Amino acid sequence: MVDTLDSDALDADVKETMFSGKLHIFSSIGSTNTLAMQQAAKGAAHGSVYIAEEQTAGRGRGAHAWHSEPYAGLCVSILLRPQMAAADGLWLSLATGLAVQQAIENVTALVADIRWPNDLLFGGRKVGGILLEMNAEATRVRYAVIGVGINVNHRQFPPELRDLATSLRLETDRVPLRQDLLVAVLKCLADEIVGLMKPACFANARAGILARMQQKSRWVCGKQVFVDEAGGYTGVTAGLDEHGFLLVQTANGVRKVLSGGVRDRSAKG
Amino acid sequence: MNAGQLQSLKDLIEFLKQQEVGEFELEQEGLKVRLSFAGQGRSAGNNVDLGQLSHLLQYAPAASPAAVAAPAHLSNVSAGPSAVELSTAGEEAGLHIIKSPIVGTFYEASAPGAEPYIKVGDQVESGQVVCIVEAMKLMNEIESDVAGEVVKRMVASGQPVEYGQPLFAVRRR
């Protein structure tokens, strides 16, 4: 049986959130993030959600392709117009990783690891990826798009991805319906966003994100890593700074990772 | 240059006069100042007239701060007009500086191998995306907030940038 999405049921399930009445489901489009950014530039509303049963041109960081089979993965992009400074928009990156981790746990009872800033892994293989795009002035974010891709029903991957990717079906017998997973993702994300967007809650939300990253990611402290940045370097992860950037203890002192590209040191060979 | 900066410069000139410094150069954070004092048969320092400040405005790259003080007896300096040159990324040159709103990695194109958003010599419009600054897998589109000609790119693609760091100089039209 094909695991399709039911837009009416979805909308009913998220009616308490900022996404109510703003879900857009497509059978096949190039990239939900590209569409969401285009719609944002045209004035689409805060909380608009773009979902694809199939992505034909899914994107990751640095234009990496995101493998997508029809009805196998969850491909969703969320448009936000948060009242915050551009620098504060970075908190959305960590918050989204935590939200997706929680959503997967809620529907499968499995706890994925988070590779800073927000890759979701089982056994070192990627089950979920996140890409955020933002358009901002110095003092305010005009709009931000949060793209989430989760491998759900894939029974296998192409040979070049087998050591890198996994799916919920490959990890558990309790394969969730994509619909249930999507609702969980949207609800968990809504909780995170509400905390970050209310000025009175912002400090607490940031502290909570830092604390949960420390607790729920095995990559934040004590992990031997290779960092593919600034020419590449190795070291041991040494926690997060107050802005959420990953610190790595190297032979030449502590360095701050800006952009990701953090890999298990053993994987570098 | 704002009033505070001008006052700081006046104080600096007073100090240099007292110290009988012949030439002075300072370069930091987009501001470049070069002072040379010259006189004819009397204390040349007295010839420095702040009203005669000539403002030469050109962008000074964010190089490591360099202050060069060359002490000299002003009476020994050859005759010539007082000269004070100021170089700054200010508005008087018509140059507008596009700065990074976040810490991150600067990318000139949307993807490796793709065409840069803009090149030196291009005309840009206000609101046009000029580059990406990425941090934590968040791709931040940076827009030009003025229309004009791109005269300088200050950062190489793939380089880390700090909050507020200049990225491009644009000559308004």
User: Where in chain B are the domains?
Assistant: 3-73, 83-172
Residue A31: partners with Cβ closer than 8 Å, 6 or more residues away? A55, A57, A58, A59, A147
Do residues A79 and A143 touch, judged by C-beta distance below 8 A? yes
Interface ipTM: 0.91
Query: Taking 70 as the threshold, does the pLDDT of residue A268 lie above it?
Result: no
What are the C-alpha distances in Å from A69 to residues A153, A158, A180, B95? Answer: 9, 11, 18, 50
Q: What are phi and psi of A36, to 5 degrees?
A: -65, -40
Q: Is the pTM of this model over 0.80?
A: no
User: Can you give the pLDDT at residue B83?
Assistant: 35
Mean pLDDT score, A182-188: 98
Q: Which of A45, A24, A47, A8 is nearest to A146 (CA)?
A: A47
Give a three-class secondary structure readout of A83-149: CCCCHHHHHHHHHHHHHHHHHHHHHHCCCCEEECCCEEEECCEEEEEEEEEEEECCCCEEEEEEEEE
User: Can you give the pLDDT at residue B35?
Assistant: 63
Distance CA(A96)–CA(B70), nearest Å, equals 56
Paired residues of A149 in beta bridges: A75, A129
Q: Which of B46, B48, B44, B43 is nearest to B84 (CA)?
A: B48
Interface contact B160-A61, CB threshold 8 A: no
User: Looking at the complex, does the CB of residue B140 fall below 8 Å from at least one CB of chain A?
Assistant: yes
Mean pLDDT score, A143-164: 92
Interface contact A89-B139, CB threshold 8 A: no
Q: How far is B145 from chain A (nearest CA, A)?
A: 9
Question: What spatial distance separates the first Cα and last Cα of chain B, rounded to whole Å?
Answer: 20
Q: Which residues of A touch B114 (CB under 8 A)?
A: 63
Query: Taking 80 as the threshold, does the pLDDT of residue A51 lie above it?
Result: yes
pLDDT per residue over A201-222, tens digit each? 999 999 999 999 999 999 999 9
User: Can you give the pLDDT at residue B22?
Assistant: 65
Range 63-82 of B in CB contact (< 8 A) with A = none
pLDDT per residue over B157-173, tens digit each? 999 999 999 999 999 98
Q: Which of A25-29, A129-133, A139-143, B119-123 has the lowest mean pLDDT?
A: A139-143
pLDDT per residue over A78-134, tens digit each? 999 999 999 999 999 999 999 999 999 999 999 999 999 999 999 999 999 999 999
Q: Which residues of A touch B144 (CB under 8 A)?
A: none
Tell me which CATH code domain B83-172 carries: 2.40.50.100
